[in-house]
Structure 1
Amino acid sequence: MKRNLSIALGRIFILFLLSFGVKAQEWKNVNPKMNHVLADTTFLRATEVILQPGEKSDMHTHPAHFFYALTDGKLTVHYKDGKNESFDLKPGASGVSAPERPHVTENTGATTVRFLLVELKEHPYQESKNKKK
């Protein structure tokens, strides 16, 4: 059960990085004040993400990634397709996720949320080619 929660949390954080439109926006460019890039190579980017209470990201996507919660907190991920997911974070919670679809991440708690996000650049988000027209 703890593993399933970690996987779900990972997917939420990925969605946190999705973008508007056909092209996905990189998290580091969409909300630069919310992140501190720790490492950026040809194959990965490690970022410390910081969201203040009530703060929301812009719409973005994520490549496949790993996350590690550094603080307690509450996040809600609002997907472009209208679905929402909420998460209660605890320090040490972690997860791995496939590339995430467009979303906005919101700190819905009363405390600052901090987590480590490691994105795998070789596995980017790609919009489905089977979209309805």
Structure 2
Amino acid sequence: MKKNLSLITGGAFILFLFTFNATAQEWKNVNPKMNHVLADTTFLRATEITLEPGEKSDMHTHPAHFFYALTSGKLMIHYQDGKEESFVLEPGMAGVSAPERPHITENAGPVAVKFLLVELKEHPYVAAKNKKK
């Protein structure tokens, strides 16, 4: 009986860790004060994002997505693997991206940056598995 209780408790803890890890990386959960969710359905989430000057997000991922710049500004993307990218946005700029690996988004400019992010839930980020030789 005691062994079964330990297995059930351990299994529940492992399930919690997997669930926590999966949801903790979602942008809307990681940085809720930066987000204004406009629509959230089973297949997409549309969010208006606002990053104040110098503000950084926590580490997160994105499913495949579309973005539309609402203001001008400069963003720095700091990837977990150490690579970085810089984006200068102008109102009306738009783009489409495959699922995005873990990263931190930073407003590297002197003014607030606003953009629309439409995430396609059916195309989530999936970490690459290590290949054995």
Query: What TM-score bracket applies, with the shorter chain setting the length?
Result: 0.7 to 0.9
- 2:58 is matched with 58
Moved over 2 A (4+): none
RCO (CA 8 Å, sep 6+): is it higher in 1 or 2? 1
Aligned residues: 112
Cα deviation, 1:67-119, whole Å, max 9, x if unaligned, reads 00000000000000000001110000000000000000000000000000000
What is the alpha-carbon root mean square deviation over aligned residues? 1.6
CA distance in 2, matches of 1:95, 1:87: 12
Q: TM-score, normalised by structure 1?
A: 0.81
Structure number having the greater helix percentage: 2
Question: Shift of the alpha carbon at 1:129?
Answer: 1.2
Provide the secondary structure at the position in 2 that maps to 1:96: strand
Question: Shift of the alpha carbon at 1:130?
Answer: 2.5
Provide the secondary structure at the position in 1 that maps to 2:130: coil
CA distance in 1, matches of 2:129, 2:83: 20
- 2:47 is matched with 47
Question: Unpaired runs of 5+ in structure 1?
Answer: 1-21
Q: TM-score, normalised by structure 2?
A: 0.81
Identity of aligned residues (%): 79
Provide the secondary structure at the position in 2 that maps to 1:105: strand
Provide the secondary structure at the position in 1 that maps to 2:33: helix
